[in-house]
């Protein structure tokens, strides 16, 4: 048995202390590698630390006084030193009004695969309503044997499930098809988040209502000022669509649809109707505004594609990414996210030379179905100009395309949705990381 294994219960305080100061100096080295991505004071002071051998660990001021007392009742907040980590509205498309608006997740700061609720991206067509759950009602009607009405407490009595899934707006990336408009990954890819969702499969409720065998579609309608609504094919409704009230262990945030939203795994965010008040069953789609005037894709010869629900396999490097700066040659950890609306992630490749050569990245567990998956690649930067990008492969064998591959099949004009192309960052000799879409 090694000394390390003995340490926790061991009587020798000296041994434990040595052990931990050893870990500390290692921590400092790995901290330095990560820290060098960001310019600023931390880098300078960390560089001083690595030179010195840790002989004695001083007791910091925080260890010599009492801390803050526990508030009698409070909702915990992040450290004040993390105040820069925030959702942000886009700088690229300047909004003329704030009702139909969006804010983006700081993907460059996210750790692990779960997006904290306060950083979950937002997309609203008519602002965020304030809905009292005690007065919220959901109705299921149309081609069913018996129309049903539920209060929130009725719904929460059904057997629930909790599933990790990403949510991505079909407009994610629409500013960066043909030119480098976004400076950071938050702006280019931040209409993407991931949570553990808790709710009841819609199939359970439909079973009780008794769906007419001739029914083929369901309509979801929200209780917000936009009365946002979408038509969803019955196959998907029965396969895995959820009605959720939970998000990462607590009730949905108002921005995410409190107290009830539809959640359609792997499909464009738009169909996961928030503040859900009505599910109508029918035998054909309703061809609503959001499926005719909006959320359709321009195709060659002036045609438009309707009902392009699936968010296809995609990935992006989040670190290093736009706005960061490498502090000289050396070892860096390239990290990012890969996801697919069609299954799980099977592999991610990384290029360092703008797509000439590709190397296999490591996937971090868990790599779940229709969920953000983290990849890593350890890179020894020689200090020369580089162009880095990632390319993901999903469990169906689908390979993330390049923008020029997509352009062969579709027309890249106006507000093009569903941009899942390979996304490059350039690194200059000065270490600056920039959006390299051309």
Ligand X SMILES: Nc1nc2c(c(=O)[nH]1)N[C@H]1C(S)=C(S)[C@@H](COP(=O)(O)O)O[C@H]1N2
Q: Which stretch binds Mo ion (CB under 5 A): 84-92, 105-113, 164-172, 202-210?
A: 164-172
- What is the rounded distance in angstroms from the CA atom of residue 342 to the CA atom of residue 353? 29
Q: Largest Cα–Cα distance of the chain, in whole Å?
A: 79
Q: Does 255 bind ligand X (CB under 6 A)?
A: yes
Identify the residue among 108, 110, 119, 123 touching ligand X (CB under 6 A).
123
Q: Which stretch binds ligand X (CB under 6 A): 13-21, 81-89, 120-128, 387-395?
A: 120-128
Site string for ligand X, 129-168 (x = CB under 6 A): --------------------------------------x-
Within the chain, how many helices (H) and strands (E) appear?
Answer: 8, 24
Query: How many residues of this chain bind ligand X (CB under 6 A)?
Result: 20
For Cα atoms 345, 349, 354, give the angle at the middle one, nearest 5 degrees. 140
Identify the residue among 257, 265, 269, 322 touching Mo ion (CB under 5 A).
269
Identify the residue among 113, 169, 202, 392 touching Mo ion (CB under 5 A).
169
Cβ pair 281, 211 in contact under 8 A? yes
- What is the rounded distance in angstroms from the CA atom of residue 173 to the CA atom of residue 122? 15
Which lies closer to ligand X via its Cβ, residue 266 or residue 424?
266
Which lies closer to Mo ion via its Cβ, residue 340 or residue 351?
340
Give least dist CB 381 to ligand X, A. Answer: 35
Q: φ, ψ for residue 192 (rounded to 5)?
A: -145, 130
Residue 275: which of ligand X, Mo ion, none does it interact with, CB under 5 to 8 A by kind?
A: ligand X
DSSP 170: T
Residue 321: which of ligand X, Mo ion, none does it interact with, CB under 5 to 8 A by kind?
A: none
Q: Which stretch binds ligand X (CB under 6 A): 47-55, 147-155, 271-279, 365-373?
A: 271-279
Identify the residue among 87, 165, 224, 361 touching ligand X (CB under 6 A).
224
> What SS3 state is found at 45?
helix
Q: Does 291 bind ligand X (CB under 6 A)?
A: no
Q: Which stretch binds Mo ion (CB under 5 A): 39-47, 143-151, 165-173, 340-348?
A: 165-173
- Residues 200 to 259 in contact with Mo ion, rule: CB under 5 A: none
Give the CA distances from residue 149 to residues 135, 141, 204, 227, 279, in Å, rounded to whole numbers and listed in that order: 12, 9, 14, 19, 10
Residue 342: which of Mo ion, ligand X, none does it interact with, CB under 5 to 8 A by kind?
A: none
**Going by DSSP bridges, is the β-strand pair 425-427/386-394 parallel, antiparallel, or unpaired?**
antiparallel
For the four alpha carbons of 297, 300, 304 and 305, in that order, the dihedral sign comes to negative
Q: Does 418 bind ligand X (CB under 6 A)?
A: no
- What is the rounded distance in angstroms from the CA atom of residue 18 to the CA atom of residue 22? 6
Q: Does 105 bind ligand X (CB under 6 A)?
A: no
Which residues neighbour 150 within 8 Å (Cβ) at sequence distance 6 or greater?
A: 137, 138, 139, 140, 205
- Residues 104 to 163 in contact with Mo ion, rule: CB under 5 A: 123
Q: Does 125 bind ligand X (CB under 6 A)?
A: yes
Which lies closer to ligand X via its Cβ, residue 120 or residue 309?
120
Q: Does 419 bind Mo ion (CB under 5 A)?
A: no
**Residue 312, number of CB atoms within 10 A of its CB:** 19
Cα dihedral: 243, 248, 251, 257 (round 10): -50
- Report the interhelical angle of 13-35 vs 41-51 (nearest 10°): 140
User: Which positions lie near Mo ion, rule CB under 5 A?
Assistant: 123, 169, 269-270
User: Which positions lie near ligand X, rule CB under 6 A?
Assistant: 120-125, 167, 169, 222, 224, 226, 228, 255-256, 269-270, 272-275
């Amino acid at each position: 048995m090694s000394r390390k294994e003995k340490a926790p219960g061991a009587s020798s305080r000296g041994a434990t202390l040595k052990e931990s100061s050893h870990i500390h100096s290692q921590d400092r080295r790995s901290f330095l590698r990560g820290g060098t991505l960001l310019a600023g004071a931390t880098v300078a002071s960390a560089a001083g630390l690595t030179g010195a051998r840790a002989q004695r660990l001083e007791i910091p001021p925080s260890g010599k006084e009492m801390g803050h007392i526990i508030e009698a009742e409070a909702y915990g907040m992040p450290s004040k030193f993390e105040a820069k980590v925030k959702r942000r509205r886009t700088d690229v498309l300047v909004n003329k009004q704030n009702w139909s608006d969006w804010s983006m997740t700081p993907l460059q700061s996210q750790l692990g695969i779960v997006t904290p609720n306060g950083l979950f991206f937002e997309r609203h067509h008519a602002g965020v309503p304030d809905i009292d759950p005690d007065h919220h009602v959901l109705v299921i009607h149309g081609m069913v044997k018996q129309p049903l009405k539920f209060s929130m407490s009725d719904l929460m009595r059904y057997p629930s499930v909790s599933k990790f899934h990403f949510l991505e707006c079909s407009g994610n990336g629409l500013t960066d098809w043909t030119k480098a408009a976004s400076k950071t990954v938050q702006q280019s890819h931040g209409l993407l988040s991931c949570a553990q969702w808790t709710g009841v499969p819609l199939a359970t409720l439909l079973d009780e209502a008794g769906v007419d065998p001739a029914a083929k579609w369901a309509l979801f309608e929200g209780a917000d000022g936009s009365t946002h609504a979408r038509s969803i094919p019955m196959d998907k409704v029965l396969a895995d669509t959820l009605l959720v009230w939970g998000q990462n262990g607590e009730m949905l945030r108002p921005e995410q649809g409190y107290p009830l939203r539809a959640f359609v795994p792997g499909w464009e965010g738009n169909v996961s109707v928030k503040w859900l008040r009505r599910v109508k069953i029918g035998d054909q789609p309703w061809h609503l505004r959001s499926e005719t005037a909006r959320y359709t894709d321009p195709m060659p010869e002036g045609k438009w594609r309707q009902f392009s629900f699936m968010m296809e396999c995609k990935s992006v490097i989040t670190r290093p990414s736009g706005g960061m700066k490498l502090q000289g040659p050396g070892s860096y950890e390239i990290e990012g996210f890969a996801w697919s609306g069609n299954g799980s992630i099977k592999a991610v490749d990384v290029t360092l030379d703008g797509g000439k050569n590709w190397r296999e990245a490591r996937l971090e567990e868990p790599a779940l179905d229709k969920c953000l998956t983290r990849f890593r690649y350890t890179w020894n930067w020689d200090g020369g100009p580089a162009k880095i990008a990632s390319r993901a492969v999903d469990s169906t064998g689908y390979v993330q395309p390049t923008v020029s591959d997509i352009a062969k099949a579709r027309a890249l004009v106006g507000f093009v949705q569903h941009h899942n192309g390979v996304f490059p960052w350039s690194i200059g000799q000065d270490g600056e990381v920039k959006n390299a879409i051309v």
